[in-house]
Amino acid sequence: MNALTTSIRRSAIGLGLFAVITGGTIALTQGVTKDRIQEQAARAEARALFEIIPEHQHDNDLLRDVVTLPANTRQPASGPVNVWVARRDGRPIGIIMPAVAPDGYSGEIRLLVGLDLDGKVLGVRVTNHRETPGLGDRIETRKSDWVYSFDGRSLGNPPANQWNVKKNGGVFDQFTGATITPRAVVKAVQHSLSYFRQNREVIRERLNEPPSPRNRQLTPEAIAGEANPAEHS
């Protein structure tokens, strides 16, 4: 009986140790993986930012010059909006704001939309999506040039009713067999432009305020954590 009790106790201790070690290993792996994903996300985002406003066009630390703007009520998560600011000789020349198209074929499509201070598009990049490879993924620059068709556009160019894909009377190409994805992106960019116009005065004020808790200086990793970028692979 004593021998049996000892054996059961040993087995229980063994099992307990096994559970602790396995649990610890899983937690450690998850932690490392999460860090790596965040790091990759931050790198992908930084790349997109510098594509939208290349380094030779600004002289500030774009990655760390982040200003918080009023909430965009048309966005799914409608809290305050953190935007990156490009400056030259201390003067703001453009902003890059995150945007979400909620109505992609497979859910949310995350974007970065760069605008100059007149509300003209400097560039758009997709940072995350789950659209179908070979159909909806032509919104990525590595798959097609489509996303460049926003460059130079503004709220009045084209007129409001033509901010759509050609199939729906707009000026933007759809993809063969895939209209939902490009339409969702077109609408999200148009909404970003509307937000900019509606908030133009407060945006101008905030961009010219000295750094404060509201105009935070964030690390790229922290921003990546908030914006959850990283292009679909």
Ligand X SMILES: Cc1cc2nc3c(=O)[nH]c(=O)nc-3n(C[C@H](O)[C@H](O)[C@H](O)COP(=O)(O)O)c2cc1C
Task: Indicate whether 71 belongs to the interface with ligand X (CB under 6 A).
Answer: no
Least CB distance to ligand X at residue 126 (A): 12
Contacting ligand X within 148-167 (CB under 6 A): 167
Report, in Å, the least distance between residue 192 CB and ligand X: 20
Cα 216 to Cα 38, 66, 75, 159, 200: the distances in Å are: 20, 6, 21, 36, 20
**By C-beta, is 50 or 105 nearer to ligand X?**
105
User: Is 49 near ligand X (CB under 6 A)?
Assistant: no
Q: Which is nearer to ligand X, 186 or 203 (CB)?
A: 186
Indicate the burial class of 233 (C-beta count within 10 angstroms; 0-12, 13-18, 19 or more). exposed
Question: By CB under 6 A, how many residues form the interface with ligand X?
Answer: 11
131 binds ligand X per the rule CB under 6 A: yes
Only segment of 33-41, 42-50, 131-139, 141-149 that touches ligand X (CB under 6 A) = 131-139
Is the C-alpha dihedral spanning 125, 229, 168, 197 positive or negative? negative
Site for ligand X (CB under 6 A): which residue of 38, 127, 181, 190? 181
178 binds ligand X, rule: CB under 6 A: yes
Tell me how far apart the alpha carbons of residues 84 and 129 are, in angstroms, rounded to a whole number. Answer: 21
Among 132, 141, 198, 228, interactor with ligand X by CB under 6 A = 132
Q: Are 82 and 214 in contact (CB under 8 A)?
A: no
Q: Give the three-state DSSP class for 41.
A: helix
Q: For 203-222, give one letter per residue: b (16+ CB within 10 A) or e.
A: beebbeeeeeeebeebebeb
Q: Which stretch binds ligand X (CB under 6 A): 3-11, 17-25, 41-49, 129-137?
A: 129-137
Distances (CA, A) of 157 to 35, 72, 198, 199: 41, 22, 17, 19
Structure tokens that stand for 226 in this block: 């908030």
Q: Taking CB under 6 A as the rule, does residue 192 contact ligand X?
A: no
Q: Facing residues of 124 across strands?
A: 113
The reply to whether 136 sits near ligand X by the rule CB under 6 A is yes
Q: Site for ligand X (CB under 6 A): which residue of 135, 155, 171, 222?
A: 135
Nearest distance in Å: CB 180, ligand X: 3
Residue numbers of the site for ligand X (CB under 6 A)? 105, 131-132, 135-136, 167, 177-181
